[in-house]
A and B are shown apart, each in its own frame.
Chain A
Amino acid sequence: MNSDLFQEALVAIASGVSTTLMLITTTAIVGLILSTLSAAAKRSGNRFLRAVVITYVEVIRNTPFLVQLFFIYFGLPALGIRLDPITAALLAMIMNMTAYTTEIIGGGLDAVPEGQRDAAQALGLKPHIAFIKVILPQALVVIYPALASQIIIMMLESAVVSQIAVRELTHQADLWQARTFRAFETYFVVAMIYLVMAVTLRHLMVLFGRRFISASIT
């Protein structure tokens, strides 16, 4: 392979990696915020909210991500909602991630003893302050590893958004193999890049967790 081609490959990979990272970062941040809200809504005592959250989680968890993506990207235009590929991919990823993390966060909230809320209330904290300052930090220690795993799973699953022509890492690989006719080598190298990204991301999340959440996180 001459050096020009090699350089072009590097540029394609860098651009693909940055798009993949942008997708997963946005998904993780928005997904975690939404799932905290939905986990709280499920436990708010409002029956209607509870039913909505339960139905949502069940539907998303029992259907493939690729079908959800196609439904959003190809199906919604029939209702007049036309999204560009990146928006459709982000919407699908956020919706999918939120369903899983709602369950994880909910499990964590349930693990915090009831007495913590009572004590916070006795100290005069308003319910939402008690939730943010007392309940959530304790829940986070328990569920942090599961959340980190879910983010990595979502990053790997995001490879299929190449199918709606989002120019992330796998799509760059598709373009590259179509150009060079080196499908096996291209996909192999890109798979290894995903592996490095997954390992690095996990490492970073453990470091982040130790620094900001609890020293006991591994």
Chain B
Amino acid sequence: MIEFTNWDILRNLLFATRWTVALSVVAFVGGGVVGLFIMMLRISKRKAAQRFAAAYIGLFQGTPLLLQLFIIFFGFPMLGIRIEAWAAAALGLTLYASAFLGEIWRGGVEAVPEGQWDGSAALGLHGVRQMQLVILPQAFGYVRAPTVGFLVQLIKATAVTSIIGFEELLRVSNVINNATFEPLKVYGFVAAIFFLLCSPLTWYARILEKRANATK
């Protein structure tokens, strides 16, 4: 039997960590873009758009992420489209993130005082320009802390993609485990790596929250 040193285990886990990080970044950026769109629909004056966005958010926040991933992973082949685990993971987490970010940002936009809309409209700003120049910069202050907080949730959520076979940190650790039979050590390392990824962000979110509360 081959002997595995701690360094062998850790090195392989660290290699796998880049896929955890890559997936988190893709889902956060992709989810941000889609989430912005969902947020605009949610606050639009059209009832149909509002309802669609509310249903979209309710659907992703009201069902388990694991089942969302399964539905994408098994649903696409039924439409005749082959989908790899990484693509299903990226798509699934992007949609998942968009629902949560859309909802967080809606809260931020709605926290901007009514007068800001009226004032900017009186200055002749409408639509995208009004959003971009007046509303979003102010809403940004309210949503920074919860957005960073959600990023932590998202990084942790990437672990679920191991179940559909995406080779991120947890998936690779399962494979290593089957070779080394040292689950306590291997999962301990995995937990430590996740902790190192997440805790600085948790800490940062807390600072942002304190700052936001102090300026209120």
**Chain A interfacial positions (CB closer than 8 Å to B):** 58-59, 61-68, 70-71, 74-79, 152, 156-160, 162-163, 170, 173, 177, 183-184, 187-188, 190-192, 194-195, 198-199
Contacts and interface: CB of A to CB of B under 8 A. Distances in A.
A64 B159 contact: yes
Contacts of A159: 64-67
Nearest to A149: B61
Contact of B63 (A65, A76, A158, A194): A194
A159 B191 CA distance: 20
A62 B194 contact: yes
A177 B78 CA distance: 14
Label chain B's interface by main secondary structure: helix
Interface string B59-73: 100111111101100
8 contacts: A63-B194, A67-B187, A70-B187, A75-B188, A79-B184, A152-B62, A183-B74, A194-B67
Interface string B163-199: 1000000100010010000111001101100110011
A71 B191 contact: yes
Most buried by A among B64, B156, B183: B64
B152 interface: yes
Given A66-B163, A159-B66, A183-B70, 10 more contacts: A62-B156, A62-B199, A62-B202, A63-B194, A65-B159, A70-B183, A75-B184, A159-B65, A191-B63, A194-B67
A71 B187 contact: yes
Contacts of A199: 58, 62
B10 interface: no
Interface of B: 58-59, 62-68, 70-71, 74-75, 78, 152, 156-160, 162-163, 170, 174, 177, 182-184, 187-188, 190-191, 194-195, 198-199, 202
A152 B71 CA distance: 21
B162 A76 contact: no
A78 B170 contact: no
A170 B159 contact: no
A63 B191 contact: yes
A58 B70 contact: no
B190 A78 contact: no
Contacts of B190: 67
A30 to B, nearest CB: 21
Contact of B191 (A68, A188, A194): A68
A152 B58 CA distance: 12
Contacts of A76: 184
Contacts of B187: 67, 70-71, 74-75
A187 B183 contact: no
Contact of B183 (A61, A68, A75, A177): A75
A47 to B, nearest CB: 21
A122 B110 CA distance: 43
Contact of B64 (A74, A78, A191): A191
A162 B177 CA distance: 19
A195 B182 contact: no
B68 A66 contact: no
Nearest to B59: A195
A53 to B, nearest CB: 16
Contact of A63 (B157, B158, B162, B198): B198
A156 B160 CA distance: 12
Contact of A195 (B63, B70, B75): B63
Given A75-B188, A191-B71, A160 B163 contact: yes
A215 to B, nearest CB: 25
Contacts of B160: 64, 66, 160
A41 to B, nearest CB: 21
Contacts of A67: 159, 170, 187, 190-191, 194
